[in-house]
Chain A
């Protein structure tokens, strides 16, 4: 018989708020990463060259894509860190179970994704302003400077969902590694194959069924032009990964020393 009836949601909320406070350094680290990305972006993110009679044309492109990519890398990294032993041991200071622990972790990751998505999308505007003031305006093309409010909002929403997707993948992999350390070896061994796969994906001459499958998988998300369908796809995929991580953690022993 219990004097106080526990509420699963309240327990998870307590854990979530505690983790949010103790992991504030992650917000700070994202800020540093994005400041770094902003400075790199000021040198341009790409270029195009061409020429004609007597002319060599070089166009340097400026955008917030580097900040976007860095934020995705950050999201992947912190979602694997959230599942480490130190953070898992924090859960034992609360009345909790695996469900509340995972629920609070997922809540933390979604909060970080919201923050990361908002700042990554708005970093693009800061990059444009800084570039406007430091560059020779005589050589800057006007188009693309101003995105309509509609597209700024779309940028924020889609960035948030991309980060949620990456976080869910990282959380799943982190849980996999916590289940059995052998997965660290497997992931490390898989790294050269990932590099080779990446090379093949970039190379237009490489064709194979597996490469086409990977390309189709990536295009499934990045070539979706409807925001609603895109969010549904991301939510379903993220749910699968998060659910997988929850199921994996349920197989783990109570506490590792």
Chain B
């Protein structure tokens, strides 16, 4: 904090010196006054035009600051994922977004599922469901629960879990912490001072909820395939 403050004050002093030098030097610049006037008028015109252009900018592709989504608040906790999966609600509900699908051909009788944690100890929630047939295929679907940051839906920015089948080991790797960079326009100091507090908080998302979601991996295995007891602990067998 102290170092930051010192750096900040040094920068302020440096800017004062720079501005002082600029002022002193522009008075002695050999640009005729006539051209200085034209440049100043041009600058003012650009600023005025930019104000009008701002109203016509398309907001396509910009991220919308959605209101707190009641559906997100109602996302059930992990204890209910079994029931949701058997009811088929993982793929039909708005609470979950399907990220990726895999299908592996597997003819073995035993499968080891390894759930690798991310670099902060977080791991995917794995649901294993046995199919009614022996089709020799392991189908894997990765879902992500809807996630928001200050009311901004970032679900589509979350990368899927990686899944690999190497011999008889199905590895579900949560992956490293994913960096998500966002940019936001903030009201200026003067606007902030006179903007109503509730509107200001809404503009910068202070009164919006933040929900960090979970990654769910749904694995459907052939009827007679057995899961090795050496598999990771946090795996839920549905049937």
Residues on A facing B (Cβ under 8 Å) = 24-29, 31-36, 44-46, 50-65, 68-70, 73-74, 76-78, 81, 118-119, 121-126, 128-129, 131-132, 135, 137-147, 151-152, 154-155, 158-159, 162, 195, 198-199, 202-203, 222-227, 230
Contacts and interface: CB of A to CB of B under 8 A. Distances in A.
B205 to A, nearest CB: 7
B133 interface: no
Nearest to A31: B43
Contacts of B61: 137-138, 140
A245 to B, nearest CB: 20
A185 B158 CA distance: 59
B224 to A, nearest CB: 34
B62 A142 contact: yes
A199 B186 contact: no
Interface in B14-70: 15-16, 18-20, 22-23, 26-27, 29, 31, 33, 36-37, 39-40, 43-44, 46-48, 50-51, 53-55, 57, 59-65
B56 to A, nearest CB: 10
Contacts of A65: 186, 188-189
B195 A62 contact: no
| 9 residue pairs, one from A and one from B, having the closest CB atoms | A52-B212, A144-B185, A122-B47, A143-B65, A158-B190, A53-B122, A137-B61, A142-B62, A29-B26
B79 interface: no
Given A54-B120, A146-B54, A158-B193, A141 B152 contact: yes
Contacts of A62: 183-186
B191 interface: yes
A58 B178 CA distance: 11
B62 A54 contact: no
A59 B19 contact: no
Contacts of A137: 60-62
Nearest to A152: B51
Contact of A81 (B23, B54, B194, B203): B23
Interface of B: 1-2, 5-6, 8-9, 12-13, 15-16, 18-20, 22-23, 26-27, 29, 31, 33, 36-37, 39-40, 43-44, 46-48, 50-51, 53-55, 57, 59-65, 118, 120, 122, 147, 149-150, 152, 154, 158, 174-175, 177-191, 193-195, 202-205, 210, 212-215
Q: Is the interface of A mostly helix, strand, loop or mixed?
A: helix
Nearest to A144: B185
A54 B185 contact: no
Given A54-B178, A77-B19, A203-B5, 4 more contacts: A65-B188, A81-B23, A158-B190, A203-B2
Contacts of A51: 120, 177
A199 B6 contact: yes
B169 to A, nearest CB: 22
Given A53-B122, A55-B177, A195-B9, A143 B50 contact: no
Contacts of A147: 187, 191
A154 B199 CA distance: 15
B118 A54 contact: yes
A119 B43 contact: yes
Contact of B183 (A78, A140, A159): A140
Contacts of B195: 151
A60 B210 CA distance: 17
Given A77-B20, A81-B23, A56 B184 contact: no
Contact of A24 (B13, B36, B59, B215): B36
Given A27-B40, A51-B177, A151-B195, A139 B26 contact: no
Contacts of B46: 126
